[in-house]
Amino acid sequence: MAFLEVDHVDRIFDLPNGAQYIALTNVELNVQQGEFISLIGHSGCGKSTLLNMIAGLDRPTAGGVILEGRQVTKPGPDRMVVFQNYSLLPWLTVRQNVALGVDKVMKHLPKGERRGIVEHNIDMVGLRHAADKKPAELSGGMKQRVAIARALALRPKVLLLDEPFGALDALTRGNLQEQLMQICQEAQITCVMVTHDVDEALLLSDRVIMLTNGPEAHIGQILEVPIPRPRHRMEVVNHPSYYALRSEIVYFLNQQKRDKKRKKAQPVAISRHGLEKVNLEIGFVPLTDCAPLIVAKEKGFFAKHGLEEVNLSREPSWKTILEGVENKRLDAAQMVAGMPLAMTLGFKENVPVPMTSAMVMSRNGNAITLDERLYREGVRTLDDFKAVLSKTPDNVHTLGIVHTTSMHNLMLRYWLATSSIDPDEDVSLAVIPPAQMVANLMSDNIDGYCTGEPWNARAVYENQGFVMATDLDIWPGHPEKVLGVREDWAHQYPQTHIALVKALLEACEYCDDRRNREEILALICQPQYVGSAPEYTRLGFIDPYPYVHGEEPKTLLRFNQFYVDQGNYPRETESLWIMTQLARWGITPFPRNWVEILQRTHRVDVFREAARQLGFPMTEPNRSPFHLFDGKVFNPDDPIGYLNSFEIHRPIRIEEVILDAVEKVNV
């Protein structure tokens, strides 16, 4: 159980006119003892409101705050707050201000012991020389140190900081931040801090909690800060992960700023040209294979088909893609191939959300990259890697994946298991956003990863890693990214859905004309899209693909496949294979009614209608058995037999999955 729990908290304020203002909705957060958490977001997002509820100064409208198993209902000395404005009593000295709370809360202790506590905390913040001075004689930084000493003197279980350094000059702020880090680490104090300062959040925090705009603000993203402690400012700034982490936070804040402007400028839905909705918010993750979305926007394919106001929302991770579609912030999204299926089935502890996919947006484009150190140790094959694992059984080797439901996870697991490496027992798999893979490899947080481009090519280009295998070596032509929309959205906007698929089909065709690749490279490398360097982004996309730094690259013409060979057709047999692997590893149950699930999740009718209107081929590819690199045949008529044939697997659940009935709109 977590030390501090914020359990599905809502906070609603009654307004004088009888209306209500929903400040926070469904905020869920677990904090471990000794952890330092920062809350960041734009003004009005409810940061201080949340802090006040943890302090007991305010009560949630729904949900609750639990500290060590007991609900917080009022203020108490186990939770001390340090405010931005110091809040010192001006007629008392430093010593008297600190002693005020100690004498009140610890009156059961002998006077000498209380005095010792006061003096210890004055020394801890370095104010021995000013102990007899009053606040008017102190600088701003010294006043804030008094406030911190006063809070710490009561030995709180949780220290709550509401922009404690916001009013201080840069030098004073830096010194106090260093002091606070040292005190909290030595005393193992749990801290929750509100801040607007991105660098401050990264310096002090174990996790940064990013809140969306109000009203109805909620947690938009949680960012782990994998920088070891003890920390010093220059070491933090020079850490390989620092600028990638900082970029994630800044991008989230900028995204919220744009979202606020859009909401002011646009009505909820604009209908035009026979379409139910022409203003769409479409999510993508910065990877080379987001190219069809960028081409559809920049080359006018969206506008050509009546979608005049399409915003491409650059998301930091696949988790935020899922959440954006789930909470209807996004109309549609580029998704990893297993995500619509897993959301529909209800993966892990997630509530099922019926999803549909009407087209595959890209195939291939992934690789398995290992640390360059392993190459120097002689690792060339999967068996070599297995030998390394066997030689060092006590040394945990960690491999990065981008999402539980992604082909990266499923194919990496399949690849490892063919050499009798159990991906849950013999290695550790960590979910990391694609853009952070190289930084985590450089900082030795992981030993390798499976992700999309350009993050494998970058590791090879910078001689940080080497490619063990691409997906062309494992399953050439597999579905990689798909168009995902909620099922209820597809039924509400059927003509818009067709227009969206038409625009993306034309964009996919444009992307697979290699004469356009240089132009597309320039588009995707723009900072609002992938923002990567062209030197390594072009590898595999245009130029031959390097497996090892300094060695002869390989020509892989189908490494990024967007259209050719009926590549966009949403093939149910491929998704059936994905469902067997989701069940194999205990991510979802395998649906006994798998035919029904595939029919619900695959809008072949939408694809065929869009293709018909464009004059594109719409014939379904042959439905036949296929196999991956190990030769094990997948028969789509016997998926359960295939699933049960694997030696390495988790407990397999086969059950009927009942979805809520939804009226289908014919197209």
Decide if pLDDT at 660 tops 70: no
Q: How far apart are CA 303 and CA 321, in angstroms?
A: 24
Which pLDDT does position 28 carry in this prediction? 87
pLDDT band at 148 (very low <50, low <70, confident <90, very high): confident
Q: How far apart are CA 44 and CA 212, in angstroms?
A: 10
Please name the helix (run of DSSP H) or strand (run of DSSP E) that holds residue 460, with its range, or none.
helix 455-461
Q: For residue 420, count CB atoms less than 10 angstroms from its CB and return exposed for 0-12, middle for 13-18, buried for 19 or more.
A: exposed
* CA nearest neighbour of 224 among 433, 515, 389, 438: 433
Dig out the tokens for 171 from the structure.
Answer: 């030098």
Decide if pLDDT at 223 tops 80: yes
Please name the helix (run of DSSP H) or strand (run of DSSP E) that holds residue 192, with its range, or none.
strand 190-194
Mean pLDDT value across the chain: 89
| Torsion (CA) 218, 48, 154, 105 in degrees, nearest 10 | -110
pLDDT band at 536 (very low <50, low <70, confident <90, very high): very high
Name the E strands within 55-142.
Answer: 62-67, 70-71, 79-82
CA of 94: how far to CAs of 100, 116, 123, 142, 248, in Å? 10, 15, 12, 10, 41
Which pLDDT does position 373 carry in this prediction? 95
Residues 163-184: what's their mean pLDDT?
Answer: 75
Interval 367-389: pLDDT, tens? 999 999 999 999 999 999 999 99
Which pLDDT does position 265 carry in this prediction? 59
Percent of the chain with pLDDT over 70: 97
